[in-house]
Structure 1
Amino acid sequence: MQSAAIFDLDRTLIAESSTPIFMKHISQAGLRGESSVPFAAPVAEGFSRALRAVFNTVGESRLLMQPAKLGVRAAAGWPRINVDEAAALAAEELLELVLPFARTAIEEHRDAGDLLVLASTSPIAFTKPLADALAFDGVVGTAWKHDGDSYTGEIDGSFVWGPAKATAVREWAEANDVRLDRSTAYSDSYYDAPLLDLVGTPVAVNPDLRLEATARIRGWKIRHFDKSDGIAKFGGRELQEWTRPLMRPEIVAPYADITFHGVDNIPAEGPAIVVFNHRSYFDPTVMGLLIARAGRNVRGLGKKEVFDVPLIGRMMESSGGIRVERASGSDEPLEAAARAIDGGELVMIAPEGTIPRGPAFFEPELRGRWGAAKLAARTHAPVIPVGLWGTERVWPRSQPLPDVNPTERPPVSATVGEPVDLKYRSPDADTQRIMRALVDLLPDEAREHREPTEEELMRTFPPGYRGDPNAEVDRRPGTDT
């Protein structure tokens, strides 16, 4: 027996209701009078918009389902061939609205050999062309009666909503030799809880309040297909979005004089890889302020030790942070970053991997690992370099905490450059291109070789360091040695 992945449509595969799109194409096909279908009549346009806004915000309700249930009456006399043509055009439009991480989930299930099923309350006459366009294996929905060439204006069987939808999916599974206990289902609606309860892996996607509460009580996974897996939302927004108004230097770091240059080089939307040179524990704060100023959410790669800190680690995970265990040699962090980029997100990475120690900290030539270059070759997303300078004056590696009460606020700068011109043939060569681009964004003194004092050297080591500060570790790009 096979397993399946069962997807709801509205507020799951797409962010809102599909009804207005279906109705638009039905109308353009000349299949209805202007007042024949709920949500469409000009005389009720304000009410229609209000109902759609309520649905898009809070999801399904018994009240909102009544127009959908009664809408079949308007289909009396509609030629089936004309409905098929209109639905095919609607499918083309809806296909463009499928959320980025819904596509990722679809492909993951396809690769795993699962059957793909579209299960929606909407009429099968409307949704089957979309299911076909997505190369799904089955479609479950409300069926309309017809006399051969035309629809009669009656439902054939049940109105597939709530428990009836779960029943319809169970019947489909039995007919197609599918094990539901080995299957996965995705929906946004509390009224689909009976369906989610049927499967081995229920997933609440963009859940309404009651489904979210149910999912947390039952231990069901919660996802948002417009965001990377694991991102938490509060009131429909990410934590980064809620805190962005507060992400200003005078609030977050009043003890430093931070300036930003070239912020417009960070794309306002779409995928990108933001790289920066690593000088201090203060770097993530400056980068967070920079990304907030650009108006973007970011997924950052960070060492597992940071994620293991109870409160901080949980916040990083819920904000989209990607854990890196450097000693493991696993490609999973880069794969997770690639999935985020494929979904149109911004990923941030420090190619050096860690803050250079000793004499290496003062070298004019920066050396990096291959991660950013490999990620760029995998995704072809633009690589945006950010040169950081002065962050070590605020929080040198030798101090457990930043200096929040300096005599004078130390100057710190973050300069954003244009995308790096990469060739995608050699990760080593592209890494060198990335590191040169970072150096080019630093002040002239960064490119001058000088001998640091012993005090300066000691500031590049953790507290309590007792080794030889002049010993230099020759760390090759792409390795941890």
Structure 2
Amino acid sequence: MSSNDARGGWDFDAIGTPEDFLSSWSASRGNLRRFFEDHAAAPINEESQRQAGEAAATQAVAAIYDMDLNDFHAGVDAVAGAIESAGAIHVSTPDPDVPQDVGAAAFFDVDNTLIQGSSLIVFAQGLFRKKFFTFKEILPVVWKQAKFKLTGSENADDVSRGREQALEFIKGRSVSELVELCEEIVDKRMTDKMWPGTKQLADMHIAAGHQVWLVSATPVQLAQILAQRLGFTGAIGTVAEAKDGVFTGRLVGDILHGPGKRHAVAALASIEKLDLARCTAYSDSINDLPMLSMVGTAVAINPDSKLRKEAEARGWEVRDFRSLRKAARAYGLPALATAAFSLTGWRIRQKLRKE
């Protein structure tokens, strides 16, 4: 038997001992690896790692939330700004006696969903009372409020322009001054504008152990104070940049309107480990369709005509707490006034008979 046969076909007399072979093979492998690293597949440097990570994140965000990575980043900025504003991600502590249903949450729009009318207008009025701007500067805001009351729906351009005005009004002012004003606005001007039916829905979620979040275009400080007063988990709103405790007049992330709400909710769901299929969203406006469409359950509250039509087409629940307005549309104000006078007269006659 030849040495080749005895050693499994290898001619060790030619290449030396097995140790020599292994050393030679390791050196060859090292040379081959260096060739590929230097020429075919260069080592991943910092920039390449960033690009690879961004590509993976882009795929993940698209697969999970069906959105662009830049939009997700804008949502993260909004959530991060809200956390910085409150000093914590949650503004209220859940009741320790209520078992928490981890992963479930409810997202509530504010204007005309939780409260009657526009919180931005109430905010602007508060700024005016504190002399943040002149009467001439507030006239466009008054006009937008009139349109909102007449139509029952908000205009995206009005919201965007209102945000720009508010940023300009608070530029150079201290954050503490604005927080104090927001507390006054919530306590004196907003709690009495609550839709009781919407508040009951939010309380039902809290009782079920769900997180409850306000998601609004209103300034984040105002939204967070309102959430705190109501015992909600937290709030995401439009974040104005501040440095050294003073507002710069610039925006952080999205304005929380339309698609901006969807971006922020996606970021929040990622941070809080929420299962969007088990979440519920409430809004009155067709502008919030992106947020309503991303959750398992969508409910139209006091909907504008476009959202009502969309909700009916999609089989979403519709709740309208504007009973007087609904009755006025159905029967007309003169008929309602006549009925009211008739009812009052009947009650007076009944009382006189008893006496």
TM-score (norm 2): 0.63
* Identity in percent: 27
TM-fit CA distance, 1:292: 7.7
Could you tell me which of 106, 114, 119 is aligned with 1:18?
119
Distance in 1 of aligned mates of 2:163 and 2:340: 46
| Contact persistence 1:205–1:222 (CA under 8 A) | yes
Change (3 A) 1:245 1:150: closer
Distance in 1 of aligned mates of 2:267 and 2:212: 15
Could you tell me which of 163, 186, 198 is aligned with 1:91?
186
| Contact persistence 1:15–1:56 (CA under 8 A) | no
Partner of 1:437: none
TM-fit CA distance, 1:73: 2.7
Distance in 1 of aligned mates of 2:332 and 2:350: 22
- Which of the two has higher C-alpha Rg? 2
Q: Secondary structure of the equivalent of 2:231?
A: coil
TM-fit CA distance, 1:219: 1.1
Could you tell me which of 211, 234, 238 is aligned with 2:327?
238
Partner of 2:150: 57
Structure with a larger share of its residues in helix:
2
Partner of 1:102: 198
| Contact persistence 2:124–2:141 (CA under 8 A) | no
Distance in 1 of aligned mates of 2:196 and 2:248: 38
Could you tell me which of 87, 104, 107 is aligned with 1:3?
104
Distance in 2 of aligned mates of 1:416 and 1:241: 29
Change (3 A) 1:42 1:217: same
Quick check: 1:135 aligned with 2:200? no
Partner of 1:170: 266
Distance in 2 of aligned mates of 1:25 and 1:62: 22
Cα-to-partner distance string for 1:160-214 (whole Å, 9 max, x where unaligned): 2111111101211221122221121111111101111111221111111211111
Q: Secondary structure of the equivalent of 2:193?
A: coil
Cα-to-partner distance string for 1:51-77 (whole Å, 9 max, x where unaligned): 212123331222212322312133221
| Contact persistence 1:11–1:56 (CA under 8 A) | no
Distance in 1 of aligned mates of 2:220 and 2:157: 22
Distance in 1 of aligned mates of 2:277 and 2:232: 20
Structure 2 unaligned segments of length 5 or more: list them. 1-101
Superposed CA RMSD: 3.0
Distance in 2 of aligned mates of 1:83 and 1:244: 41
Q: Secondary structure of the equivalent of 1:237?
A: helix
Letter of the 1:51 partner, please give it.
K
Change (3 A) 1:290 1:142: closer
| Contact persistence 1:22–1:87 (CA under 8 A) | yes
Letter of the 2:122 partner, please give it.
I
| Contact persistence 1:125–1:144 (CA under 8 A) | no
Distance in 2 of aligned mates of 1:241 and 1:292: 18
Partner of 2:162: 68
Could you tell me which of 151, 174, 190 is aligned with 2:286?
190
TM-fit CA distance, 1:105: 1.4
Partner of 1:33: 133
Letter of the 2:343 partner, please give it.
A
| Contact persistence 2:202–2:212 (CA under 8 A) | yes
Give aligned pairs, total. Answer: 251
Change (3 A) 1:415 1:183: farther
**Mapping of 1:307-386 within 5 angstroms?**
none
Distance in 2 of aligned mates of 1:119 and 1:15: 16
Could you tell me which of 132, 136, 144 is aligned with 1:42?
136
Change (3 A) 1:113 1:74: same
Partner of 2:209: 113
Letter of the 2:342 partner, please give it.
R
| Contact persistence 2:262–2:294 (CA under 8 A) | yes
| Contact persistence 1:55–1:64 (CA under 8 A) | no
Cα-to-partner distance string for 1:13-71 (whole Å, 9 max, x where unaligned): 111011232123333444x231xxxxxx33663x4433212123331222212322312
Distance in 2 of aligned mates of 1:108 and 1:212: 23
| Contact persistence 2:107–2:213 (CA under 8 A) | yes
TM-fit CA distance, 1:97: 1.1
Q: Secondary structure of the equivalent of 1:294?
A: helix
Change (3 A) 1:225 1:244: closer
Cα-to-partner distance string for 1:305-331 (whole Å, 9 max, x where unaligned): xxxxxxxxxxxxxxxxxxxxxxxxxxx
Could you tell me which of 230, 247, 253 is aligned with 1:157?
253
Letter of the 1:66 partner, please give it.
S
Could you tell me which of 392, 416, 421 is aligned with 2:350?
416
Structure 1 unaligned segments of length 5 or more: list them. 35-40, 228-232, 248-267, 269-288, 296-384, 387-413, 419-439, 442-481
Distance in 1 of aligned mates of 2:267 and 2:111: 22
Structure with a larger share of its residues in strand:
1
Partner of 2:69: none
Distance in 1 of aligned mates of 2:240 and 2:350: 57
Change (3 A) 1:239 1:125: closer
TM-score (norm 1): 0.47
Distance in 2 of aligned mates of 1:148 and 1:171: 26
Distance in 2 of aligned mates of 1:123 and 1:240: 33
